[in-house]
Structure 1
Amino acid sequence: MSKLAEFKRLEAQLAAQLQQLDALKNDAELKKEIQFEEKLRALLAEYGMSLRDVINILDPSPRSTPAVVVQRRQRQIKVYKNPNTGEVVETKGGNHKVLKAWREQYGVEAVDSWLQ
């Protein structure tokens, strides 16, 4: 795109945005909202309050705490005893380094049969 075409496109966008801004400046609803905000901020300043204080007064229920926390049940400790070496492994999961090595060496069924 040439610089001139880009300039004309941006100029048209700016003109459209300026037109929207003028329409908003004359909007009665916007004027009411601005007036409300100014009065509200003046009232808050008069009483030394913040928006957060007003929200806490109007709705004191805590919003930052999670509704329900579901806890998983704890895993039971599994004890494996290697009959060949007498070595004992205690684990809550199957992702144990020694257990993996045993499974590679002796096979999954054999190691699972060592569960105490």
Structure 2
Amino acid sequence: MSRLAEFRHLEQELARQTAQLEEMKNDEGLKREVEFETKLRDLLAEYNFSLKNIIAAIDPQSLNRGAPQPQPKRTRRPRQVKVYKNPHSGETVETKGGNHSILKQWKAEHGADEVETWLQ
């Protein structure tokens, strides 16, 4: 589309929107709505309220609709107690994890695969 054709198209669109705007300015319903909004905002300013205060008073649930709901806190399931029994010494170790000092010694001495076979 040439620049002149684009200009004329935009000019026609502007004329159409201007006519629509003038038509709306003469609409009595719109005039009443504008007057109501002006009076409401003046009243809110006089009493130091905001639209959120009014909405909360009329419909308290509406404020919670847009806000994300807090996720329930997830908890880890408790670790199971593992019991290892050393067949060489007869000593037992109860642990919930692999960070037990005696268990580490056994794994260093006998190998991790062999110590895992001692699990009761």
**TM-score normalised by structure 2 residue count:** 0.54
Unmatched segments (≥5 aa) in structure 1: 88-113
Tell me how far apart the structure 1 counterparts of residues 40 and 29 of structure 2 sit (CA, whole Å): 16
Tell me how far apart the structure 1 counterparts of residues 49 and 111 of structure 2 sit (CA, whole Å): 73
Tell me how far apart the structure 2 counterparts of residues 12 and 77 of structure 1 sit (CA, whole Å): 75
Matching residue of 1:86: 112
Aligned-pair CA distance for 1:73: 5.9
Aligned-pair CA distance for 1:45: 2.0
Tell me how far apart the structure 2 counterparts of residues 48 and 37 of structure 1 sit (CA, whole Å): 16
Aligned-pair CA distance for 1:2: 1.0
Unmatched segments (≥5 aa) in structure 2: 81-96, 99-106
Aligned-pair CA distance for 1:55: 2.4
Cα RMSD after superposing both structures = 3.4
Matching residue of 2:20: 20
Tell me how far apart the structure 1 counterparts of residues 45 and 11 of structure 2 sit (CA, whole Å): 42
Q: Aligned pairs, how many?
A: 88
Matching residue of 2:54: 54
Tell me how far apart the structure 2 counterparts of residues 11 and 71 of structure 1 sit (CA, whole Å): 59
**TM-score normalised by structure 1 residue count:** 0.55
Aligned-pair CA distance for 1:72: 5.2
